[in-house]
Amino acid sequence: MSDALSVQEGQPTARRPKRWHILVFLLPAFLVYSAVMILPLIETLRLSLFNTVDGQSTFVGLANFQTLFGEERWAHDFWNALKNNVIFFIIHMCVQNPIGVALAAMLSIPKLRFVTFYRTAIFLPTLLSFVIVGFIWKLILSPIWGVAPGMLDLVGLKSLFAPWLGKPGSALVTVSLISVWQYVGIPMMLIYAALLNIPDEVIEAAECDGVTGWSQFWKIKLPLILPAIGIISILTFVGNFNAFDLVYTVQGALAGPDGSTDILGTLLYRTFFGFQLQLGDRSMGATIATVMFLIILAGVSLYLFVIQRRMRRYQF
């Protein structure tokens, strides 16, 4: 760690008496976290290697994974869900995060008026639950109510309207954009805080050198907020690959139409707890959970060990 030197100063000798305060500081978080999160997760990973044979839980090695990737019915659902999930993530990265950065950059312009109002208003959807967001957009996009076609009619684009949520070709994009609409506040807030934390001296120095406006943003501010953008990207990745609620609320557990909005979260739900005629399958559920775990693990490792290491940390 870069700050190892400065920390050493606070510790005169290695033979100091036991520093119990470190234990006291760490213990509560460690206990709750281990008991409620880590142990159950390990148990779930363990379950993916077991299946019920003759009514008894038996160790089957990787047979569950072979079924998931190889058996036609499972493989079709799984690859479909994975593909949709990747698209879901790409839409978030390409729409949500640039909008978030742009909004934060505009909000952080000095002496801009009404900043509090804009910030408050734009962050509001983020606080709403999936239940509310899902139902509101379902109503708005519903051809029965006619709000969306009515509004398109105002700008003369009524012919563009289609029941987007009901068509296999557009349902996934529509659900993704609803999710973007809801969550754009998070990148906005994080970047906004990062921009405010840039010291005035840096900005003043840039202005003295004649770097202002756009080039100031690209050359001075953007490099300084890169760590925040990195955090946002990884938060988006993790959030997207365990998303479930919005698809469930808007399209139901079957993630219709025709599985076109099925993502890993909804597949896990149907497999784990069963739905309609399909019975819940604990072992296959644990198997899908394990695959999700591995995907997320891969993404986060990439971030932690490659991207974050390369990123310079600016200390003021």
Partner 1 sequence: MSKARDSFLRTGFVHVALIAYTLVSLFPVFLTIINSFKDRNAIFRAPLTIPTPQTFSLIGYETVLGQGDFATYFQNSFIVTIVSIALVLLFGAMAAFALSEYRFRGNTVMGLYLAIGIMIPIRLGTVAILQGMVAANLVNTLTALILVYTAQGLPLAIFILSEFMRTVSDDLKNAGRIDGLSEYSIFFRLVLPLVRPAMATVAVFTMIPIWNDLWFPLILAPAEATKTVTLGSQIFIGQFVTNWNAVLAALSLAILPVLVLYVIFSRQLIRGITAGAVK
245-304: contacts with partner 1 (CB under 8 A): 245, 248-249, 265, 268, 272, 282, 285-286, 289, 292-293, 296-297, 299-300, 304
Cβ closer to partner 1: 29 or 72?
A: 29
Residue placing its CB nearer to partner 1 in the complex, 169 or 233: 233
Chain positions 30 to 89 lying near partner 1, rule: CB under 8 A, are 30, 32-33, 35-41, 43-44, 47
- 13 near partner 1, rule: CB under 8 A: no
Of the pair 69, 314, the CB lying nearest partner 1 is at 314
Shortest distance, position 310 Cβ to partner 1, whole Å? 17
In angstroms, give the least distance from the CB of 8 to partner 1. Answer: 7
Which DSSP helix (H) or strand (E) runs through 308?
A: helix 308-310
Tell the smallest beta-carbon distance from residue 220 to partner 1 (Å). 17
The one segment of 61-69, 110-118, 165-173, 254-262 that binds partner 1 by CB under 8 A = 110-118
How far, CA to CA in Å, does 129 sit from each of 1, 57, 133, 216, 262?
Answer: 39, 38, 6, 38, 20
261 or 287: whose CB is closer to partner 1? 287
Q: What is the DSSP string of 1-58?
A: -TTHHHHHHT---TTPPP-HHHHHHHHHHHHHHIIIIIHHHHHHHHHTTEEEETTEEE
Q: Which amino acid is at 54?
A: D
CB of 238 to partner 1, least distance (A): 5
Cβ count within 10 A of residue 117: 9
DSSP 278: B
Measured CA to CA, the distance from residue 130 to residue 137 in angstroms comes to 10
Cβ contact 189:101 at 8 Å: no
- Interface positions, 226-245, toward partner 1 (CB under 8 A): 238, 242, 244-245
| Site map 111..150 versus partner 1, x via CB under 8 A | -x-x-xxx-xxxxxxxxxxxxx--xxx-xx----xxx--x
Three-state secondary-structure class, residue 80: helix
The three-point CA angle 124-130-131 to 5° equals: 110
Q: Which of residues 167-196 bind partner 1 (CB under 8 A)?
A: 181, 186, 189-190, 193, 196
Closest contact distance (angstroms) between CB of 246 and partner 1 is 10
At 229, list the tokens.
Answer: 């953008």
* CB-neighbour burial class of residue 227 (10 A; exposed 0-12, middle 13-18, buried 19+): middle
Measured from the CB atom, the residue of 25 and 79 that comes closer to partner 1 is 25
Q: Which is nearer to partner 1, 74 or 237 (CB)?
A: 237
Asked whether 98 and 229 are in contact (CB, 8 A), the reply is no
Q: For partner 1, how many residues bind (rule: CB under 8 A)? A: 95
Q: How far is the CB of 28 from partner 1 (least distance, A)?
A: 4
